[in-house]
Amino acid sequence: MDNMRLEDLIEAGKLTARIKKDAEKLAIVGERIFDIAETIEMTIEKEGAMPAFPANVSVNELAAHYTPCNDDLSEIPEDAIVKLDFGLIKGQAITDTSITVDLSGKHDNIMSASKEALENAIKTIKPGIPVDDVSKVIFETIKKHGCKPISNLMGHKIEWMNLHAGVEVPNIPAHEMYEFQVGDVFAIEPFVTTKEGAGYIKETDHVEIYSLFLPGNIRLRQSRKMLEYIIEHYKTMPFCERWLFKEFKSKLMLNSGLKEMLKARVLMAYPVLAEAKGEPIAQFEETIVVTEDGCIPITKG
C-alpha cells in the first residue's frame, strides 16, 4: 500500500466519487473556470480533506494542467469538452480522478473510447499482470473506436505524498514489464483524441502549477518566505499561483518569487498541455487498489 492505509483509501475514494458527481454539474456554458476549480477545492476542504493538487479544468484541446490563476476571467465556452481532474488527501490516502463532460454532444467517439478503455483496464488489472498487458488493452479499445490514444500521457503509481511514483501505465504498448502487486495503488487515465489528432501533447508556455524540486539557495527575502510557506503547506505535492495569492496577496511578488525559484530549480513547473494538432481530448481517470483477485476502482463510486 506504499504507506497508505486500505481503509483510508476506500474512504477517500468514496468522498472523491461523491465530489466528482457534484463537480460534473459545474461544467456548464458560461460558468467561470475559476469558480469551478474553487468549488471543487472548497468542497474537498469542507469534507475534512485536502486537495492533492490544484483542480484542473482543461477545455477542448487542452489535456491537463490548466488551473485558473487568481484573476482568471475565462468561462466555459459553448460546445466545450471539459476535463475536470482533481484528487484529495484524507487520512493516510491520496486519490486522483477525472471526468470529461461533452457539452456539444459531438464527441461520443472519444468519450466512449476513453471510458471503455478505462473499464477494460480495470477488468484486466490483477496481481502478476504486467503493465504492458494493460497498455495493450487500452490501446486496442481506443483503436476499436477509430480514435487515437495520447502517447505521451500515462497512468501512474501513487504512493504516500508521491502522486507520480515511478511506474507508469502508457496508453500505447511500451514494454513496461512491471507486474502489479497486491496493495499497489495506481491512477489509470486513458487520454483519447480523434483520428485527425497528432496523438501526443505539447507543452504550452502557460504555467500555473508547480511543485518542490531540489533544495537550493534563494536570494530574495520575500521568495524565501514563499518557499518556507510552500514547504510547510504543500511539501512535495503540486500547488498553484492562485493558492499562494490567498496568502501573499501581491501578484508582482508572486511572479518574481516563482521566477527566482524556477531559475534556481527549487521548483518544477507543470505547463498546460495541449493536443499537438489542436484536436479535442477526452480523459476518464480512476484510482485503483490491486487486491488478491483483481482491483478496486476506489474513486468510481
Residues at the site binding Mn ion, with contacts judged by CB under 5 A: 85, 96, 98, 187, 285
Q: How far is the CB of 221 from Mn ion (least distance, A)?
A: 35
Nearer to Mn ion, 61 or 85 (CB): 85
Q: How far is the CB of 156 from Mn ion (least distance, A)?
A: 6
Nearer to Mn ion, 89 or 187 (CB): 187
Nearer to Mn ion, 27 or 226 (CB): 27
Q: Which distant-in-sequence residues (6+ apart) come within 8 Å of 118 by Cβ?
A: 138, 188, 189, 190, 284, 285, 286
Residues 55, 47: contact at Cβ < 8 Å? no
- Residue 59 has, within 13 A of its CA and on its CB side, a CA count of 21
Residue for cell digits 478505462? 118
Q: How far is the CB of 268 from Mn ion (least distance, A)?
A: 16
Nearer to Mn ion, 171 or 223 (CB): 171
Q: What angle do CA 16, 67, 27 make, to 5 degrees?
A: 60
For residue 105, the one-letter residue type is G
Residues 45, 120: contact at Cβ < 8 Å? no
Q: How far is the CB of 114 from Mn ion (least distance, A)?
A: 13
Question: What single-letter DSSP state applies at residue 281?
Answer: E
Nearer to Mn ion, 99 or 113 (CB): 99
The catalytic site residues sit at 85, 96, 156, 164, 189, 285
Around Cβ 191, how many Cβ atoms within 10 Å?
Answer: 33
Nearer to Mn ion, 54 or 280 (CB): 54
Residue for cell digits 471543487? 40
Q: Kindly state the cell numbers that stand for 15.
A: 468522498
Q: How far apart are the C-alpha atoms of 295 and 126, rounded to whole Å? A: 6
Residue 268 burial (CB < 10 Å; 0-12/13-18/19+)? middle
Q: Kindly state the cell numbers that stand for 126.
A: 490483477
Q: How far is the CB of 77 from Mn ion (least distance, A)?
A: 22
Task: Decide: helix, strand or coil at residue 295.
Answer: strand
Q: How far is the CB of 94 from Mn ion (least distance, A)?
A: 10
Alpha-helical regions (H) of 174-268: 221-234, 241-248, 251-263
Question: What single-letter DSSP state applies at residue 52?
Answer: S
